[in-house]
Structure 1
Amino acid sequence: MSTLLVRPAHPQDLAALVTLYQQLSTRNPASVSPRHEEAWQAMLAHPGLHVLVAEQDGQLVGTLTLALLPNLTRGVRPYGVIENVVTAGTYRNRGIGRALLEEAERLAREARAYKVMLMSGAEVHGAHAFYQKCGYQADTKQAFEKRWP
């Protein structure tokens, strides 16, 4: 069995990330566009933003994004928001998602964040069970969102 490496994303990981994001939602485009390139450069330069990847067998098999945000409450400690968690379908149930979450949590604790939070699609029950097994609670907050086309 090969070793799993969880690491910060590198600039050259963009195409592999775009491919992974298709498994998150089929509405995501399959190829890198100039808008992807522009957003990727902004993400890499953004303070407190961490795009983590899981690499196995020389390919990216999972990713998540952690945003650590400054805060004026809770002892002026930041909080973390985890988004875009995805593991390649053929690599699921191998501990990859857990390893990514653990690294995000380590970074959040290192930054003295008082919490990390994430949201999951309402109908993605398998993911909900996974997050709960990783220690995330579904009954402490109510999520609300507003989306635009």
Structure 2
Amino acid sequence: MPNAMIIRSAIRSDLGAILRLLRELGDSAPAHSSGVRMSSAAVRAWTRMENDPDRSVLVAERRGQIIGTLDLLVVANLTHDAQSWAIVDNLVVDPIARRGGVGRALLEEAVDRAARVGCYKIELLSHESRAGAHAFYTAVGFANSAEGFRRYI
């Protein structure tokens, strides 16, 4: 199947493609004309992430191209009979691949992974201005059940 999409755990050689996608979130440094800027800080962060057994960066790949990513973190917990819970962050789909099931497939894999390790819930945050994203999250089974607060430091 030439157009088949696979969802898999990211590997180090995916880092440039992941950084390219993360620019869509609007808070990353712009790419240089020669490609995505891969700072030493990004490489150090990736090394920490790939060595964390409770962290998974997932990618969606089609025809050898990374077209989506998300970050899944499992959090140890003392409530709910010490069942863990999970956080999804940095879900991004390449603009040319949006509305094609990529985000849904990534989230389904994240939910499956969280369930397999015994998480009792999975959470994500989305900026209040992203109404389209909120409709998508509702359509894939997430409920707007809390109000989030942040403090940047």
The TM-score, its normalising length taken from structure 2, stands at 0.93
Identity value in percent: 36
What corresponds to 2:108 in structure 1? 102
Q: Counterparts of 2:89 and 2:138 in 1: how far apart (Å)?
A: 16
Indicate yes or no: 2:147 matched with 1:146.
Answer: no
Aligned partner of residue 132 in structure 2, secondary structure: helix
Q: Counterparts of 1:134 and 1:147 in 2: how far apart (Å)?
A: 29
What corresponds to 2:34 in structure 1? none
What corresponds to 1:58 in structure 2? 64
What corresponds to 2:76 in structure 1? 70
Q: Counterparts of 2:127 and 2:59 in 1: how far apart (Å)?
A: 21
Aligned 1:1-149 pairs, distance under 5 A: 2-25=3-26, 27-29=27-29, 30=31, 31-138=37-144, 140-148=145-153
Deviation at 1:105, TM superposition (A): 0.2
Aligned residue pair count: 146
Deviation at 1:57, TM superposition (A): 1.6
Aligned partner of residue 86 in structure 2, secondary structure: strand
Deviation at 1:84, TM superposition (A): 0.2
Deviation at 1:80, TM superposition (A): 0.2
Q: Counterparts of 2:127 and 2:63 in 1: how far apart (Å)?
A: 29
Q: Deviations over 1:86-113 (max 9, x none)?
A: 0000000000000000000000000110
Q: Counterparts of 2:71 and 2:58 in 1: how far apart (Å)?
A: 6
Q: Which amino acid aligns with 1:5?
A: I
Structure 1, unmatched stretches of 5+, are none
Deviation at 1:48, TM superposition (A): 0.7
Aligned partner of residue 63 in structure 1, secondary structure: strand
Q: Counterparts of 2:8 and 2:53 in 1: how far apart (Å)?
A: 17
Deviation at 1:24, TM superposition (A): 1.8
Runs of 4+, deviation exceeding 2 Å: none
Q: Deviations over 1:57-82 (max 9, x none)?
A: 21100000010011011011000000
